[in-house]
Amino acid sequence: MENNCCCSQKKKHRSDEEYKALINRLSRIEGQVRGIRKMVETDAYCVDILTQVSAIQAALNAFNRELLANHIRTCVMDDIKSGKNETVDELVQTLQKLMK
């Protein structure tokens, strides 16, 4: 199986359960972002906006953790089993980007 990234031509088929979980997380995040926009449009207090931004960052981190765990359990494991050890280098590079 391969991962799907905006920078890659690789694709990955996700189970219905994984797909629904990721889409649900993204929908909640999207709603939070719209909420912040409305807060800015209605002149909400800065600290209240910053608090909501922090919640979005936490939600995005949770999304990344879930996606990364699924990637390791499927794509990385499958590639290692089939002898594609370069996937480990790709994983290390990905982790380095996430940890900036």
pLDDT in tens, 27-70: 999 999 999 999 999 999 999 999 999 999 999 999 999 999 99
CATH architecture assigned to 16-98: Up-down Bundle (1.20)
What's the distance, CA 21 to chain centroid?
A: 11
- Structure tokens that stand for 35 in this block: 């909420």
pTM of the model: 0.81
pLDDT at 5: 47
CA dist., res. 13 & res. 28, Å (int) = 23
